[in-house]
Protein backbone atom coordinates (compact mmCIF):
# COMPACT_ATOMS: atom_id res chain seq x y z
CA UNK A 1 0.00 0.00 0.00
CA UNK A 2 2.87 2.35 0.79
CA UNK A 3 4.34 1.66 -2.63
CA UNK A 4 1.08 2.62 -4.30
CA UNK A 5 0.96 5.95 -2.47
CA UNK A 6 4.55 6.65 -3.48
CA UNK A 7 3.70 6.38 -7.17
CA UNK A 8 3.09 9.61 -9.18
CA UNK A 9 -0.44 8.50 -9.93
CA UNK A 10 -1.20 8.28 -6.23
CA UNK A 11 0.10 11.81 -5.67
CA UNK A 12 -2.06 13.17 -8.49
CA UNK A 13 -5.14 11.46 -7.04
CA UNK A 14 -4.35 12.92 -3.65
CA UNK A 15 -3.94 16.42 -5.08
CA UNK A 16 -7.09 16.23 -7.17
CA UNK A 17 -9.08 15.10 -4.15
CA UNK A 18 -7.93 18.25 -2.35
CA UNK A 19 -9.58 20.37 -5.09
CA UNK A 20 -13.00 18.83 -4.50
CA UNK A 21 -15.14 20.97 -2.20
CA UNK A 22 -16.81 19.20 0.66
CA UNK A 23 -20.49 19.94 1.45
CA UNK A 24 -19.36 22.01 4.44
CA UNK A 25 -17.06 24.11 2.22
CA UNK A 26 -19.85 24.64 -0.31
CA UNK A 27 -22.16 25.75 2.48
CA UNK A 28 -19.81 28.54 3.56
CA UNK A 29 -19.32 29.87 0.01
CA UNK A 30 -20.60 33.47 0.17
CA UNK A 31 -23.79 34.20 -1.70
CA UNK A 32 -24.50 37.84 -2.34
CA UNK A 33 -27.98 39.31 -2.77
CA UNK A 34 -29.10 40.34 -6.23
CA UNK A 35 -27.87 43.67 -7.54
CA UNK A 36 -31.50 44.72 -7.71
CA UNK A 37 -31.49 44.62 -3.91
CA UNK A 38 -28.28 46.62 -3.58
CA UNK A 39 -29.62 50.03 -2.52
CA UNK A 40 -26.58 52.11 -3.44
CA UNK A 41 -26.04 50.41 -6.78
CA UNK A 42 -29.70 50.81 -7.75
CA UNK A 43 -29.65 54.49 -6.80
CA UNK A 44 -26.64 54.99 -9.06
CA UNK A 45 -27.93 52.75 -11.86
CA UNK A 46 -31.42 54.24 -12.05
CA UNK A 47 -30.19 57.83 -11.90
CA UNK A 48 -27.58 57.21 -14.59
CA UNK A 49 -30.16 55.55 -16.81
CA UNK A 50 -32.27 58.71 -16.60
CA UNK A 51 -29.37 61.16 -17.00
CA UNK A 52 -27.83 59.17 -19.88
CA UNK A 53 -31.10 59.31 -21.79
CA UNK A 54 -31.23 63.03 -21.00
CA UNK A 55 -27.69 63.48 -22.33
CA UNK A 56 -28.62 61.84 -25.62
CA UNK A 57 -31.71 64.03 -25.80
CA UNK A 58 -29.68 67.23 -25.48
CA UNK A 59 -26.94 65.86 -27.76
CA UNK A 60 -29.48 65.80 -30.59
CA UNK A 61 -31.10 69.07 -29.54
CA UNK A 62 -27.85 71.08 -29.53
CA UNK A 63 -27.29 71.06 -33.33
CA UNK A 64 -31.02 71.45 -33.99
CA UNK A 65 -31.12 74.54 -31.80
CA UNK A 66 -28.03 76.06 -33.44
CA UNK A 67 -29.35 75.25 -36.90
CA UNK A 68 -32.64 76.92 -36.04
CA UNK A 69 -30.91 80.07 -34.75
CA UNK A 70 -28.03 80.50 -37.21
CA UNK A 71 -29.19 78.41 -40.21
CA UNK A 72 -25.56 77.23 -40.43
CA UNK A 73 -24.82 73.52 -40.61
CA UNK A 74 -21.14 74.24 -39.91
CA UNK A 75 -21.88 75.99 -36.64
CA UNK A 76 -24.30 73.24 -35.68
CA UNK A 77 -21.54 70.67 -36.20
CA UNK A 78 -19.12 72.80 -34.17
CA UNK A 79 -21.40 72.78 -31.14
CA UNK A 80 -21.82 69.02 -31.42
CA UNK A 81 -18.04 68.62 -31.49
CA UNK A 82 -17.58 70.84 -28.43
CA UNK A 83 -19.79 68.48 -26.42
CA UNK A 84 -17.66 65.44 -27.31
CA UNK A 85 -14.17 67.00 -27.46
CA UNK A 86 -13.49 67.20 -23.67
CA UNK A 87 -13.70 63.42 -23.23
CA UNK A 88 -11.02 62.82 -25.84
CA UNK A 89 -8.70 65.42 -24.29
CA UNK A 90 -9.40 65.03 -20.56
CA UNK A 91 -10.07 61.31 -20.14
CA UNK A 92 -6.56 60.38 -18.96
CA UNK A 93 -5.93 63.47 -16.78
CA UNK A 94 -9.37 63.00 -15.23
CA UNK A 95 -8.49 59.42 -14.25
CA UNK A 96 -5.35 60.54 -12.44
CA UNK A 97 -7.13 63.42 -10.70
CA UNK A 98 -10.11 61.31 -9.62
CA UNK A 99 -7.70 59.09 -7.67
CA UNK A 100 -6.63 62.17 -5.70
CA UNK A 101 -10.04 63.80 -5.15
CA UNK A 102 -13.15 62.84 -3.20
CA UNK A 103 -15.11 60.92 -5.84
CA UNK A 104 -18.55 61.47 -4.34
CA UNK A 105 -17.95 65.20 -4.09
CA UNK A 106 -16.72 65.27 -7.69
CA UNK A 107 -19.87 63.51 -8.89
CA UNK A 108 -22.12 65.88 -6.93
CA UNK A 109 -20.32 68.96 -8.25
CA UNK A 110 -20.29 67.69 -11.84
CA UNK A 111 -24.00 66.94 -12.07
CA UNK A 112 -24.92 70.13 -10.21
CA UNK A 113 -22.85 72.05 -12.76
CA UNK A 114 -24.46 70.17 -15.65
CA UNK A 115 -27.95 70.88 -14.31
CA UNK A 116 -27.18 74.61 -14.03
CA UNK A 117 -25.51 74.76 -17.45
CA UNK A 118 -28.32 72.97 -19.28
CA UNK A 119 -30.95 74.86 -17.32
CA UNK A 120 -29.49 78.18 -18.48
CA UNK A 121 -30.59 77.51 -22.06
CA UNK A 122 -34.37 77.39 -21.36
CA UNK A 123 -34.00 80.51 -19.18
CA UNK A 124 -32.17 82.38 -21.97
CA UNK A 125 -34.75 81.23 -24.52
CA UNK A 126 -37.63 82.45 -22.40
CA UNK A 127 -35.86 85.81 -21.87
CA UNK A 128 -35.02 86.07 -25.57
CA UNK A 129 -31.26 86.44 -24.99
CA UNK A 130 -29.83 83.10 -26.12
CA UNK A 131 -26.60 83.46 -28.10
CA UNK A 132 -24.37 81.07 -29.99
CA UNK A 133 -21.56 81.80 -27.51
CA UNK A 134 -23.71 80.62 -24.60
CA UNK A 135 -24.67 77.44 -26.44
CA UNK A 136 -20.99 76.70 -27.17
CA UNK A 137 -20.01 77.30 -23.54
CA UNK A 138 -22.83 75.08 -22.26
CA UNK A 139 -21.81 72.26 -24.63
CA UNK A 140 -18.17 72.58 -23.53
CA UNK A 141 -19.06 72.63 -19.82
CA UNK A 142 -21.44 69.69 -20.20
CA UNK A 143 -18.82 67.59 -22.01
CA UNK A 144 -16.10 68.45 -19.49
CA UNK A 145 -18.18 67.65 -16.41
CA UNK A 146 -19.48 64.48 -18.06
CA UNK A 147 -15.88 63.28 -18.46
CA UNK A 148 -15.03 63.70 -14.78
CA UNK A 149 -18.35 62.23 -13.64
CA UNK A 150 -18.02 59.15 -15.86
CA UNK A 151 -14.47 58.41 -14.69
CA UNK A 152 -15.51 58.81 -11.03
CA UNK A 153 -18.53 56.55 -11.56
CA UNK A 154 -16.39 53.76 -13.03
CA UNK A 155 -13.81 54.11 -10.24
CA UNK A 156 -16.40 53.90 -7.45
CA UNK A 157 -18.17 50.79 -8.79
CA UNK A 158 -15.91 48.27 -6.95
CA UNK A 159 -16.88 50.00 -3.69
CA UNK A 160 -20.61 49.60 -4.34
CA UNK A 161 -20.77 45.91 -5.25
CA UNK A 162 -18.78 42.81 -4.22
CA UNK A 163 -15.88 41.85 -6.44
CA UNK A 164 -17.74 38.79 -7.72
CA UNK A 165 -20.63 40.97 -8.96
CA UNK A 166 -18.57 43.57 -10.83
CA UNK A 167 -19.01 41.83 -14.23
CA UNK A 168 -22.80 41.80 -13.76
CA UNK A 169 -22.79 45.43 -12.62
CA UNK A 170 -20.69 46.43 -15.63
CA UNK A 171 -23.09 44.60 -17.93
CA UNK A 172 -26.02 46.51 -16.44
CA UNK A 173 -24.14 49.75 -16.98
CA UNK A 174 -23.67 48.80 -20.63
CA UNK A 175 -27.42 48.30 -20.81
CA UNK A 176 -27.75 51.97 -19.82
CA UNK A 177 -25.71 52.99 -22.86
CA UNK A 178 -27.73 50.79 -25.21
CA UNK A 179 -31.02 52.13 -23.85
CA UNK A 180 -29.95 55.78 -23.98
CA UNK A 181 -28.57 55.47 -27.52
CA UNK A 182 -31.88 53.95 -28.61
CA UNK A 183 -34.35 56.19 -26.79
CA UNK A 184 -32.35 59.44 -26.66
CA UNK A 185 -32.48 60.52 -30.32
CA UNK A 186 -36.16 59.63 -30.61
CA UNK A 187 -37.08 61.53 -27.44
CA UNK A 188 -34.77 64.40 -28.41
CA UNK A 189 -36.60 64.97 -31.68
CA UNK A 190 -39.99 64.52 -30.03
CA UNK A 191 -39.26 66.97 -27.20
CA UNK A 192 -37.66 69.51 -29.52
CA UNK A 193 -40.83 69.41 -31.60
CA UNK A 194 -42.78 70.41 -28.49
CA UNK A 195 -40.44 73.34 -27.89
CA UNK A 196 -36.72 74.15 -28.29
CA UNK A 197 -36.32 74.59 -24.52
CA UNK A 198 -37.95 71.28 -23.55
CA UNK A 199 -35.02 68.89 -24.28
CA UNK A 200 -32.58 71.00 -22.26
CA UNK A 201 -35.02 71.40 -19.37
CA UNK A 202 -35.55 67.62 -19.37
CA UNK A 203 -31.81 66.98 -19.29
CA UNK A 204 -31.32 69.48 -16.47
CA UNK A 205 -34.01 67.72 -14.40
CA UNK A 206 -32.31 64.36 -15.00
CA UNK A 207 -29.09 65.78 -13.53
CA UNK A 208 -30.94 67.09 -10.49
CA UNK A 209 -32.23 63.55 -9.89
CA UNK A 210 -28.69 62.21 -10.28
CA UNK A 211 -27.40 64.66 -7.65
CA UNK A 212 -30.09 63.56 -5.19
CA UNK A 213 -29.38 59.88 -5.83
CA UNK A 214 -25.62 60.21 -5.34
CA UNK A 215 -26.19 62.28 -2.19
CA UNK A 216 -28.39 59.52 -0.71
CA UNK A 217 -25.83 56.77 -1.32
CA UNK A 218 -24.19 55.48 1.88
CA UNK A 219 -21.17 53.61 0.55
CA UNK A 220 -17.66 55.06 0.65
CA UNK A 221 -16.55 55.67 -2.91
CA UNK A 222 -12.84 55.10 -2.21
CA UNK A 223 -10.37 53.91 0.36
CA UNK A 224 -7.70 55.95 2.09
CA UNK A 225 -4.50 56.05 0.06
CA UNK A 226 -1.68 54.18 1.81
CA UNK A 227 1.03 56.09 -0.02
CA UNK A 228 1.61 59.47 -1.57
CA UNK A 229 0.45 59.73 -5.18
CA UNK A 230 3.11 59.88 -7.86
CA UNK A 231 3.48 62.78 -10.24
CA UNK A 232 0.32 63.19 -12.27
CA UNK A 233 2.11 63.27 -15.64
CA UNK A 234 3.75 59.94 -14.84
CA UNK A 235 0.34 58.38 -14.15
CA UNK A 236 -1.12 59.91 -17.32
CA UNK A 237 1.77 58.42 -19.30
CA UNK A 238 1.10 55.00 -17.78
CA UNK A 239 -2.55 55.27 -18.78
CA UNK A 240 -1.63 56.25 -22.31
CA UNK A 241 0.76 53.31 -22.64
CA UNK A 242 -1.91 50.95 -21.30
CA UNK A 243 -4.42 52.20 -23.87
pLDDT of residue 190: 96
Mean pLDDT of 115-144: 95
For position 182, what pLDDT does the model report? Answer: 93
- pLDDT one-digit tens code per residue, 169-198: 999 988 998 999 999 999 999 999 999 999
Distance CA 81, CA 86 (A): 9
Higher confidence at residue 3 or residue 176?
176
pLDDT of residue 99: 84
Q: How far apart are CA 46 and CA 209, in angstroms?
A: 10
Mean pLDDT score, 10-27: 48
| Averaged pLDDT, 116-133 | 96
pLDDT beyond 70 at 212 = yes
- The answer on pLDDT for 12 being more than 60 is no
Global pTM exceeds 0.85: no
How far is Cα 209 from Cα 219, in angstroms, rounded to an integer? 18
Q: Domain 38-242 belongs to what topology?
A: Growth Hormone; Chain: A; (1.20.1250)
Report, as an integer, the average pLDDT of 125-154. Answer: 94
How much is the pLDDT for 114? 97
**pLDDT of 213 over the 60 cut:** yes
The single-letter DSSP state of residue 37 is: G
List the domain boundaries for the chain.
38-242
Among 13-17, 67-71, 154-158, 171-175, the least confident range: 13-17
Q: What is the pLDDT of residue 242?
A: 72
Closest CA to 166 of 154, 157, 155, 176: 157
Q: In the chain, what percentage of residues exceed pLDDT 70?
A: 84
Alpha-helix runs per DSSP H in the chain: 2-6, 8-18, 23-27, 39-70, 73-98, 103-127, 132-156, 166-194, 198-216, 232-242
221-243 pLDDT per residue, tens:
877 766 666 677 777 777 677 76
Tens of pLDDT, residue by residue over 49-106, are 999 999 999 999 999 999 999 999 999 999 989 988 999 899 888 888 898 899 999 9
Amino acid sequence: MNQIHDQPGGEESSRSSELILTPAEVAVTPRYPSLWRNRDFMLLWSSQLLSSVGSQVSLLAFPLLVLGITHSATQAGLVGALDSLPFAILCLPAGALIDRWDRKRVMLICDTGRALALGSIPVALWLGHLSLLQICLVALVEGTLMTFFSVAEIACLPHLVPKEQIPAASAQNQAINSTSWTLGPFLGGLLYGIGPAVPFLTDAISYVWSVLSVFLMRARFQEERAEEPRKIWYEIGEGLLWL
